[in-house]
Amino acid sequence: MVVVSGADEVSDSTSPTPSYDRIKELREFDETKAGVKGLVDNGVDKVPRIFVHPPEALHDLPSRLGSTHSCRQTHLTIPVIDLLEATTSRRKEIVDKIQEASETWGFFQVVNHGIPQSVFEELLEGVRRFYDQDTEIKKQSYTRDLMGKKVIYNSNFDLYSSPAANWRDTLYCDMGPQPLDPQELPLVCREILMEYSKQVSKLGIALFELLSEALGLNPKHLIDMGCAEGLAILCHYYPACPQPELTLGTTKHSDNDFLTVLLQDQIGGLQVLHQNQWIDVSPTPGALIINIGDLLQLISNDTFKSIEHRVVARSIGTRISVACFFTTGVQSSTRVYGPIKELCSKDNPPVYRETTLKEYTLYFTAKGLDGTSALSHFKL
């Protein structure tokens, strides 16, 4: 077992210039190839210092605010949109709701989206089966080589570039545009991941049509631009955390894609930054969470907002979520994306330069989750 010091052993564990060999401890953790789950399985009862976040990322955690937090709870929740109505004469109303949500919250939940709840349950179980496998088996797919395999399991894609590691492990599956050979997926969740991928791709098409209309464009506009072509499925595993007030499940960030479709289990912990307040996205059985990514903010010339969100660590139990990212990422072609011409005018000139999805993804990945925006780097 790797020897990592507990957070209480260094008085300045939250200092920005730690007085310990951080790289060495990161390597030791990485070399276990067992992720955060491995630490928890080994009975860790303190958060190792590589996971301790700086004070500015921790001061407003619910676990720090204690009982005062419940008094401060707001009634605000992200909008819920019933997609069944999009197939009726009330489509315009749905488009308006999606426009409003995308311009203000950058987040909404959808119900009646066509994916049965049994598929969600099977998917969450499949992901759990993957993580519950013997470490020796999982180790075989543990890698940081993004350009190599299409199915990657690791902990913290940005382990060596971010200021603090997150309390989570991830199984990353690159499902498109080049179809994935199902044999590359772990057997324990192969069938359900293929099924879910098919269903989410279909939902993605429907959402991009609604989003195109919400931008005042032809319904096929975003699809014709290739927004629905690439799909990556990220299966996150957030083990129960012994000291949730010292770390995060996921650092505050916005997503580096066009659109994200997120399924979370019943544990909770996802928060969205809205009007300078963290708003809980409480688990809603059967619903999916949709959020605008940086690239949709870029091509919509800031009309739609890619909003920051985070996942707080929890001591109550393991949390599983599955995030579907619409982008071709590093597999992308030379196609360039900039603000859509129809959305720009003399009064609303382009605010971003053109970029490729590969350039954007490599910049985002190299920077890591450090609490700052990647999008601003592309501002004119």
Binding site for Ni ion (CB under 5 A): 255
By rule CB under 6 A, what count of residues binds ligand OGA? Answer: 11
Whole-angstrom distance, CA of residue 94 vs CA of residue 83: 7
Buried b (16+ CB within 10 A) or exposed e, 82-116: ebeebeeeeeeebbebbbebbbbbbbbbbeebebe
Whole-angstrom distance, CA of residue 374 vs CA of residue 365: 10
Query: Which of residues 101, 214, 270, 375 is near ligand OGA by CB under 6 A?
Result: 270
Residue number, 212 or 251, with CB nearest to ligand OGA:
251
250 lies in the binding site for ligand OGA (CB under 6 A): yes
234 lies in the binding site for ligand OGA (CB under 6 A): yes
Least Å distance, CB 250 to Ni ion, is 7
Question: Where in 67-126 is the site for ligand OGA (CB under 6 A)?
Answer: none
287 lies in the binding site for ligand OGA (CB under 6 A): no
Least Å distance, CB 140 to ligand OGA, is 23
Q: Which does 321 bind (CB under 5 to 8 A by kind): ligand OGA, Ni ion, none?
A: ligand OGA
Asked if 228 contacts 176 with a C-beta cutoff of 8 angstroms, the reply is no
Whole-angstrom distance, CA of residue 40 vs CA of residue 138: 16
Least Å distance, CB 311 to ligand OGA, is 5
255 lies in the binding site for ligand OGA (CB under 6 A): yes
279 lies in the binding site for ligand OGA (CB under 6 A): no
Q: Which does 221 bind (CB under 5 to 8 A by kind): Ni ion, ligand OGA, none?
A: none
Total residues belonging to the chain: 380
User: What is residue 319's three-state secondary structure?
Assistant: strand
Whole-angstrom distance, CA of residue 30 vs CA of residue 160: 10
309 lies in the binding site for ligand OGA (CB under 6 A): yes
323 lies in the binding site for ligand OGA (CB under 6 A): yes
Q: Which does 264 bind (CB under 5 to 8 A by kind): Ni ion, ligand OGA, none?
A: ligand OGA
Query: Which of residues 214, 311, 312, 374 is near ligand OGA by CB under 6 A?
Result: 311
Residue in the block written with tokens 């955390």: 241
- Give the helix ranges, DSSP H, for 182-306: 190-214, 221-224, 294-299
- Residue 51 class from Cβ within 10 Å (0-12 exposed, 13-18 middle, 19+ buried)? buried
Question: Near ligand OGA by CB under 6 A, which window of 52-60, 125-133, 197-205, 262-270?
Answer: 262-270
Asked if 257 contacts 294 with a C-beta cutoff of 8 angstroms, the reply is yes
Residue number, 151 or 270, with CB nearest to ligand OGA:
270
Q: For 105, which DSSP code?
A: T
The count of C-alpha atoms lying within 13 angstroms of the C-alpha of 310, restricted to the half-sphere facing its C-beta, is 25
212 lies in the binding site for ligand OGA (CB under 6 A): no
Residue number, 199 or 264, with CB nearest to ligand OGA:
264
Residue number, 213 or 255, with CB nearest to ligand OGA:
255
The sign of the torsion formed by the CA atoms of 194, 200, 206, 207 equals: negative
155 lies in the binding site for ligand OGA (CB under 6 A): no
Radius of gyration, alpha carbons of the chain: 20
What does the block give as tokens for 55?
A: 């004070």
Question: Would you tell me which residues interact with ligand OGA (CB under 6 A)?
Answer: 234, 236, 250, 255, 262, 264, 270, 309, 311, 321, 323
